[in-house]
Amino acid sequence: MTAARRVCAAVLVGVAAFGPPFEAARAADPAAGKARAQQVCAVCHGALGLSTVPDAPNLAAQPEIYLAAQLRAFRSGERRHEVMNVIAKPLTDDDIDNLAAWFTSIRVEARPPS
């Protein structure tokens, strides 16, 4: 087994061990996330999760688990960013799950340069 396959296998085992939280994330409401995103995310990250400012990342099509984890880390202060810590502080777990579901649901197409 290659090193990459061992890492993938370890990640899958870890994900399987945490089944219930991931089940809750799948029950999130992308429509509610879209509405909330217009209130708290769109100014910097764009209405469709495509950044409108140079130092804000694109959120569209990012993995749901990643987005939720980063928002929770900003909310708790574990991850520091002057603006994001303030924005994430009042978000509920449902808000975070819904936002992650919304941004994950957006499809982005990547093309290599011609």
What is the number of helices (H) and of strands (E) in the chain? 7, 0
Please give the model's pTM, rounded to 2 decimal places: 0.76
What is the pLDDT averaged over residues 21-42?
Answer: 83
What is the pLDDT averaged over residues 6-15?
Answer: 49
pLDDT digits (tens, 9 = 90+) for 52-99: 999 999 999 999 999 999 999 999 999 999 999 999 999 999 999 999
The answer on pLDDT for 20 being more than 60 is no
Please give the structure tokens belonging to residue 66: 């990643």
- Percent above pLDDT 90 for the chain: 76
**Domains defined for the chain, CATH in brackets:** 3-105 (1.10.760.10)
The answer on pLDDT for 106 being more than 80 is yes
Quick check: helix, strand or coil at residue 3? helix
